[in-house]
Amino acid sequence: MIAVCISVRIFLLFVFPNLSDDIYRFIWDGNLIQAGLNPYSYLPTDVLPMEVKGNSTMLFDQLNSQGYYTVYPPLAQLFYYISTLAKENWWLNAVLLKVPLLMAECGSILLMFRTLKLLELNTRRVLLYALNPLIIVELVGNLHFEALTVFFSLLAVYLALINKEKLSPLVLALGVSAKLLPLLFFPFIWKYLRHSKSFFLLFGLASLLLFTPVLFGLHISKFAQSLDLYFGKFEFNGGIYNLLRFVGYKCTGYNLIRYIGPLMGLISMAWFAWLYNKQRQQDAVQLISCCFWGITIYYLLSTTVHPWYLSLSLALCIFLPYRFVVLWSFVIILSYINYSYDPYWENLLVISLEYIVVFGFMLYELRQLSNPIELTFKDSAE
């Protein structure tokens, strides 16, 4: 069965991504690096008049973020650069970008097997991830770097579980340099390793080294502007956020995202702090449980939840008794209906149906456990 999972991913290696236009920004940034320009320093609108090779008007027209500075971390930028060695062949650019994602997916599946064996759980659980249509289509198929996020996060946790406290921080730093999200797991892994000084120092040094390219020519205000846009303007398929936005609109007559977005961020930070306080050192189940609940609640509070964002929650849930994320991975596909409207319009009835199903099943599962943070792996047994 695993051979089938890998074979499907290999087939998708040669299919150009059709459900996402992020690839065009990847190619755009890669061409900037090829030209010796720092992608963090220029807006696409600034670059177009400079006639950078490969960054044509045709490519510019495909960008979904023409007025925003790039926020993709340095390891991802390295892969963008490598892909543009294929010059102005978008199909080959896509294939070169998908190769590391395919390798990461194979690595993630292997890591799941090893971790399940380490925890004495049924290895068939890996199929919940390996056979999931969302994972297959969105990661290698539609070229989303969450594949690297999942791989590096799982590897960092696995290395921590076998007490490789000098390798785990290096891997976690690589994950952060591919996508910032694994940074959220740092406090949990660090606490699991009893606040290891070597873990803290190695992670800090590796991160500083990996992010050095970002610092040259980077204007902090510009980078902060892009992050502010994410929390204060972008909105797609938000759960609790949409409910608060609806209430806010009824009360004030306009969209309060500029206030609700940062508020959701603060609540997420408080949630991570609470989990950290609850977590016990050297407790494997609490390490995985805190990582799972941290990232899952973060997305339930987010203003923007694209389908592929669920990859990490799906990867972690196979070690725990929760399956509401698996259900979510199917119903979240309904959010794509919003792109069928011209002009774009978010169908809140469809989004409401999605989250009613998700929250309903989540609450049902939580009722089966008296304390979801205190569960043991025996609670996960078949």
Residue ranges per structural domain of the chain: 1-144, 146-218, 219-380
Describe the crossing of helices 348-367 and 324-331 by its angle, rounded to 10 degrees.
170
- Residue in 297, 289, 311 with CA at minimum distance from that of residue 128: 311
Q: What is the DSSP string of 270-282?
A: HHHHHHHHHPPTT
| Res 233: pLDDT | 61
- The whole-model pTM stands at 0.92
Position of tokens 């040094």? 205
In DSSP terms, 236 is beta-bridged to 304
The first and second tokens of residue 174, run together, are: 């690589």
Distance (Å) of CA 222 to CA 21, 83, 132, 178: 23, 26, 38, 20
Counting Cα atoms < 13 Å in the Cβ hemisphere of 106 gives 14
Q: Are 112 and 154 in contact (CB under 8 A)?
A: yes
Q: What is the pLDDT along the chain (382 residues), one digit of tens a residue?
A: 889 999 999 999 999 998 888 999 999 999 999 999 888 888 899 888 788 899 999 999 999 888 888 888 899 999 999 999 988 899 999 999 999 999 999 999 999 999 999 999 999 999 999 999 999 999 999 999 999 999 999 999 999 999 999 999 999 999 999 999 999 999 999 999 999 999 999 999 999 999 887 766 555 566 566 556 555 567 889 889 888 888 888 788 788 877 888 888 899 999 999 999 989 888 998 999 999 999 999 999 998 899 999 999 999 999 999 999 999 999 999 998 887 777 777 888 999 999 999 999 999 998 887 555 555 444 444 4
| Res 269: pLDDT | 94
Distance (Å) of CA 12 to CA 98, 101, 107, 130: 9, 11, 17, 14
Q: Is the peptide bond before 343 cis (omega within 30 degrees of 0)?
A: yes
| Res 221: pLDDT | 60
pLDDT tens per residue across span 242-275 = 888 888 887 887 888 778 888 888 999 999 999 9
Q: Are 163 and 151 in contact (CB under 8 A)?
A: no
- Residue in 49, 46, 87 with CA at minimum distance from that of residue 66: 46
Q: Under 8 Å CB-to-CB from 159, ≥6 apart: which residues? A: 167, 168, 171
| Res 208: pLDDT | 92
The first and second tokens of residue 69, run together, are: 């500075």
Q: What is the separation of C-alpha 162 from the centre of its chain, rounded to a whole number of angstroms? A: 25
Position of tokens 């979904």? 64
DSSP state of 138: I
Q: Are 87 and 33 in contact (CB under 8 A)?
A: no
